[in-house]
Amino acid sequence: ASGRFQQEYVPSAHLSAACTCLAWAPPGGRPPPSKDGPQRKKRKSEVAEMDKQLDILAIGTAVGSVLLYSTVKGELQSKLVGGHDNKVNCVKWHQDNCFLYSCSDDKHIVEWNTQTCKVKCKWKGDNSSVTSLCISPDGKMLLSAGRTIKLWDLETKEVYRHFTGHATSVSSLMFTTVKPMNENKPFDGITGLYFLSGAIHDRLLSVWYIRSDRKEKNAVMSFTVTDEPTYIDLTVSEVKEEPVKLAVVCRDGQLHLFEHILNGYCKKPLTSNCTIQIATPGDDGDSTPKPVPILAAAFCSDKQSVLLVYGNLLQPIIEKVSLNTSESHVCLIRDVQKALSLTTDVAVTKVKTPVVNSDTKVLVPGVPGHSTAVKTPSSGKEKKENKRKPGEIEESIEERLEALDIDVSKVKTPGGLPQTDSFAVLLVQGLESNDAEILNRVLNTRKENVVKNTVARMPVHAVIPLLHELTKRLQGNPYSASVMVRWLKSVLTLHASYLSTLPDLIPQLGMLYQLMESRVKTLQKLSRLHGRLFILVTQVAASETVQDVTEVNQTAKLVYEDESSEEEGSDDEMIADKDSDENWDEDEEKEEQSDEQDMTVEKEINGDSDLEPENESEEE
């Protein structure tokens, strides 16, 4: 009524088991209080009041347990365990007794006795996960849905009827009528009733009719909305001529109102009689009105007005709006900012934010592990000297450390780089604050051991953010990618055991896989191209060197002729000896050697190095 925040319950297991669904116990069908103290008799008026008041709330969790929370006591009353071993998708109370029904991703439906906190019955509801439940108005039948919808007889736990259902998993089931429209036949409690279903990613709400025969399994009519339905409320039609009123809140923040008399088959999807949206006025400063999402809507008891819940989930605004269905589109203008800003200011007064001056310098974590006795200033003069005048140059940290009498050489690491533990701290800080400057400073390190040590010392919670950051950078230019691969390699090798424990690892690293695939695909072609280019380049280089070599005189300087007559041979030898004695200068010898080298080079290049060692020695 007042729209004020009343109570908050945070289960102790909220980190391991998030709450997935809720259901209020019907007033009067509440389990008896725990037998702790002496029971006193209650007056009649007190009992009547207690019956009207909603108290117990059933909460389904992600790990499969169901919690019963008492809002009157403000504490957890009991915990139902042992029914499911996977996420609970829906909980529903039975109208008359204290039975509770729950369905889960483990494909089962469980009937709980909330007085004994034990499983009364458990049966397989579907071949895939069961996502939604609804109990019939007389309490003898149960609707369950995964994608197909089944109607169960609660006594025998057998399927009474099948319906085709939706292409995606059903998110809501509701009975729209209490009595059949045809009042001539005797009513067996279920035949002739209509019920409604909505599914995720489905813009059509389907209405189904329960017949006496099993022939027809399809929907008799459907309502179309603008987006996936997130919250549905309806007024049940109790009289034959009374239309069913339906309020559907969509994911896009609009509310659609339908009014229709359910009377058999209708081929076309029905559109809404009225659509309600909320927007900001958009006058002061910001001229464009912004849409305000509607989170939920429910009909009031008079069926002529609707309670709207809008704004943000942390601080929703609840308002009663009377219906005027003559207009097809209504846009309510509400200044949400004012209402929200006032309340948030009041809430945050205890937190003091420091006033930061523009001249302030923020120091990143330095080198840890040094300790020193700080000298006390000898007189008041020194204090004054420390204050800089506007024109002076600031001292470097090295000078300050010297002034503090710290051995600077000890503080500096051998490589002159900051140590890896400060790198790990910097990396985590950069990832948390998304500071590109810090990240660039850390991630552009090329030293293998620094990378390894940093990755080894970083906390586990920063691994996935680091992988995302690396993936982002790998998409950039190839130069940075080559550096990032080193980091990626050490992350995947050092934190493999942690990564393998993550259930959603494949979607988390999907982008990375695709990147690697696309990069590796071209590797084979690139290496082939590289091979061909290498051959071409070496050929070109070889031909260039051939052109550069100077022409060598091919005529021989000395010729030895072996003839049969010894005399001639001795003459030749004598001439040779004379030559060698007189004209053989050192310069000439050098020239000959260089000529010879040129010849060998050229011949080698031409591929016909046919000088045998014997010939060489002869020439010499």
Per-residue pLDDT reduced to its tens digit, 97-148: 788 999 999 999 999 998 888 999 999 999 999 999 999 988 889 999 998 9
Taking residues 209-231, report their average pLDDT.
Answer: 87
For residues 466 and 491, is the Cβ–Cβ distance under 8 A?
A: yes
pLDDT confidence of residue 597: 61
Q: Is 323 left (phi over 0), alpha (psi -120 to 50) or beta?
A: beta
Please determine, for residue 335, whether its predicted confidence score (pLDDT) is greater than 90: no
Determine what percent of the chain is predicted with pLDDT higher than 90: 21
| Cα 166 to Cα 11: distance, rounded to the nearest angstrom | 34
Q: What is the mean pLDDT of residues 197-223?
A: 88
Provide the pLDDT for residue 267: 84
Mean pLDDT, residues 389-406 taken together: 68
pLDDT of residue 419: 57
29 or 423, higher pLDDT: 423
Band the pLDDT of 444: cuts 50, 70, 90.
Answer: confident
User: To the nearest whole number, what is the mean pLDDT of the chain?
Assistant: 78
How confident is residue 46, by pLDDT bands cut at 50, 70 and 90? very low
Determine the pLDDT at residue 16. 61
In this predicted model, what pLDDT tens digit does every residue of 226-241 receive, in sequence order?
Answer: 999 999 998 887 777 7
567 vs 177, which has greater pLDDT?
Answer: 177
H or E stretch at 482: helix 478-494
Averaged over 527-537, what is the pLDDT? 93
pLDDT band for position 611 (50/70/90)? very low
Cα angle 568, 572, 578 (rounded to 5 degrees) comes to 145
pLDDT of residue 41: 41
Q: CA 263, CA 223: separation in Å to the nearest integer?
A: 14
Identify the pLDDT of residue 404. 72
Calculate mean pLDDT across residues 383-411: 61
Name the band, by pLDDT with cuts 50, 70 and 90, for residue 39. Answer: very low
Using CA of residue 515, residue 516, residue 518, residue 522, what is the dihedral sign?
positive
Amino acid at site 205: L
- pLDDT tier, 328 (very low <50, low <70, confident <90, very high otherwise): confident
For residue 363, is pLDDT > 70?
no
pLDDT at 19 over 60: yes
pLDDT at 605: 52
> Is the pLDDT higher at 384 or at 145?
145
Q: Which range, of 218-222, 279-283, 579-583, averages the lowest pLDDT? A: 579-583
pLDDT tier for residue 412 given thresholds of 50, 70 and 90:
very low
Name the residue with higher pLDDT: 116 or 358: 116
Q: Which long-range contacts (CB under 8 A, 24 or more apart) does 428-432 make?
A: 428/458, 428/459, 428/462, 429/364, 429/365, 431/462, 431/465, 431/466, 431/469, 432/462, 432/465
Q: Name the CA dihedral angle for 609, 613, 615, 616, rounded to a multiple of 10 degrees.
A: 90
Mean pLDDT confidence for 418-435: 81
What is the Cα–Cα distance from 308 to 334, expressed in whole angstroms? Answer: 12
Nearest to 59, CA basis, from 72, 77, 73: 77
Residue type, 289: P
Q: How far apart are CA 525 and CA 467, in angstroms?
A: 28
* In contact, 117 and 78? CB cutoff 8 Å: yes
Tell me the one-letter amino acid at 611.
L
Select, from the ranges 25-29, 224-228, 332-336, the one with the highest average predicted confidence (pLDDT): 224-228
**What's the whole-model pTM score?**
0.53
CB 23, CB 93: distance < 8 Å: yes
Contact 558, 569 (CB under 8 A): no
pLDDT of residue 247: 93
